[in-house]
Structures are given as C-alpha cells and as structure tokens.
C-alpha cells in the first residue's frame, strides 16, 4: 500500500510541476487529488506551490474531507490536529497533521463531491487556466459545439454560477454538472477537470485551456463559424468509429 501511495504522490508531483510550468496555475493556487480506494484519496496540502512539491506536501483524506495519515502498518489513522474557520453560516474544518504541519487543501469539498458522485473518476485537478478565466470574465461561453476534436474528446465545457473560492458552495455549484462533464469552469475563478487517471485529468485541463484560447481569439477576429447539424453528425460518426477501433485494440 505504501508503495502505491508513493507512486501516486510521484505522479501528483510530476503533474503539478507541468501545470505550474505551463502557467495553468501560479504561486500556491490550485489543487490536485488521486483516488486511493472507495473512501480515501491523496490531495495536495493547502498553501503549497504545485511546481515545488515534495512527498510531505500531499496528504490523505477521506470522502468527508477528514485528514488521515498512513501509519506503519499501512492502516489509515485519523489525525488529531485541525484548524477551523467560519464561512458565513457554515463552519468549514480544515484538518492537518502535527508532524508535517500540513493542512488539507481548502477546496477539498470540490474533490469529495466528485469522488462521491463519479466512481469512474480517479483524479481531480482544480487549476486557474488564464484564458478560461478570461472567457468567464468576458462572459464568453465554451459550451457551444465549435471545435471537432474537443467535441470528440471532451464535449461541452459548462460554466458554473459564481461562488467565493474555498467556500463550501464550490462543491454545490458543480453537483449538477459533474455527472455529465469532465471539464467545468468555475465562474471568474478557475477550472475543475477529472479523468480515469491523473494524466487524463491533466489532458482535459489542457483541452479546456486550448478551447478557451481558440474561442477567445476567434471572438476577437470576427463572427464564429458554427458547426452545422450535418457536420456534427459526421463528427459523431467519426467518434463512434474511433471508439470501436480503440475497444478492439484494448481487447487484444
């Protein structure tokens, strides 16, 4: 179990570095998690620069957002240290461990919501991709079917209502969308992307930001050329052919 945890931590550190170097997050923004089992996941600790993390900067959480550590017999133990703060009428508890003085990410409830609602998801990335945030500032929506490859791989990218970052409402605004979407924009804040593993969640983040860049620039250049229903039908046919070929290869 410990080697599995360390392997996932190594993946989180590597992907965190890429996301930071690609400027999809800056400073200490964003958070990354990977599912361990049906009740626990690894998540980056609060206040860490994702480009400069080590193993101690990633903590274990349960699906209620409580912080655990893996003890020597590789069983999860609840930690005793916690720091609470008030947020409106809600009391949000961020837990940490005394040994390493790490707090669970303040956006932990985004992650617990995804894992509870999507058993197929094994990784979640919350980032601050600048063009996607710019689109939500300018009220440019990314849920129109405009780019064929994005329709085939990611589908529509919806934007949530506004909520304050790090508030429990962040989880509430994705609840209706996450069952149907692998990439969501949090209004004037950032993104949530998910995947069957951390690489897919990262690729979906890149796809979201690429879409935002293209649509933003196309909006500046002139009227958008929308796909016709015939073109959408041909894209759907092509997607079905590709999926069938892929499943044949995976059977072998």
Where along the sequence are the contacts to Zn ion (CB under 5 A)? 165, 190
| CB of residue 113 to Zn ion, shortest distance in Å | 15
| CB of residue 229 to Zn ion, shortest distance in Å | 37
| CB of residue 191 to Zn ion, shortest distance in Å | 9
Would you say 158 and 148 are in contact if contact means Cβ atoms under 8 Å apart?
Answer: no
| CB of residue 190 to Zn ion, shortest distance in Å | 4
Pick between residue 16 and residue 190 the one whose CB is nearest to Zn ion: 190
H or E, element range at 113: helix 108-117
Taking CB atoms within 8 Å and a gap of at least 24, the contacts of 56-59 are 56/100, 56/102, 57/102, 58/9, 58/12, 58/13, 59/96, 59/97, 59/102, 59/104
Pick between residue 158 and residue 165 the one whose CB is nearest to Zn ion: 165
Q: E-assigned strands of the chain? A: 31-35, 40-44, 58-62, 67-70, 76-78, 82-87, 90-97, 102-103, 123-127, 183-186, 190-195
Pick between residue 110 and residue 147 the one whose CB is nearest to Zn ion: 110
Pick between residue 96 and residue 190 the one whose CB is nearest to Zn ion: 190
Between CA 26 and CA 16 the distance in angstroms is: 11
Pick between residue 168 and residue 190 the one whose CB is nearest to Zn ion: 190
The count of other CB atoms within 10 Å of the CB of residue 230 is: 8
| CB of residue 19 to Zn ion, shortest distance in Å | 12
| CB of residue 136 to Zn ion, shortest distance in Å | 13
Would you say 76 and 2 are in contact if contact means Cβ atoms under 8 Å apart?
Answer: no
The count of other CB atoms within 10 Å of the CB of residue 116 is: 15
Pick between residue 206 and residue 227 the one whose CB is nearest to Zn ion: 206
Cα separations in angstroms, 23 against 17, 20, 129, 142: 10, 5, 7, 20
């Amino acid at each position: 179990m410990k080697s599995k945890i360390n392997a996932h931590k190594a993946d989180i550190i590597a992907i965190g570095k890429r996301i930071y170097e690609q400027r999809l997050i800056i400073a200490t923004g964003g958070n990354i998690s990977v599912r361990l089992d049906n009740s626990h996941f690894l998540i980056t600790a609060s206040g860490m620069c994702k480009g400069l993390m080590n193993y101690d900067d990633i903590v274990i959480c349960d699906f209620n957002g409580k912080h655990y550590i893996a003890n020597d017999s590789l069983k999860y133990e609840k930690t005793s240290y916690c720091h609470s703060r008030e947020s409106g009428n809600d009391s949000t508890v961020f837990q940490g461990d005394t040994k390493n003085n790490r707090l669970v990410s303040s956006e932990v409830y985004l992650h617990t919501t995804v894992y509870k609602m999507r058993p197929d998801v094994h990784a979640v990335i919350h980032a601050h991709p600048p063009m996607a945030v710019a689109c939500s500032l300018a009220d440019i929506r990314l849920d129109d079917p405009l780019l064929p490859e994005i329709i085939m791989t990611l589908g529509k990218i919806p934007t949530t209502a506004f909520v304050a970052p790090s508030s429990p409402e962040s989880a509430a605004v994705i609840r209706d969308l996450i069952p149907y979407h692998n990439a969501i924009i949090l209004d004037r804040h950032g993104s949530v992307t998910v995947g069957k593993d951390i690489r897919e969640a990262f690729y979906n983040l890149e796809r979201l930001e690429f879409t935002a860049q293209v649509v933003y620039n196309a909006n500046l250049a002139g009227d958008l050329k929308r796909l016709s229903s015939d073109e959408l039908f041909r894209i759907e046919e092509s997607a079905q052919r590709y999926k069938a070929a892929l499943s044949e290869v995976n059977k072998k």
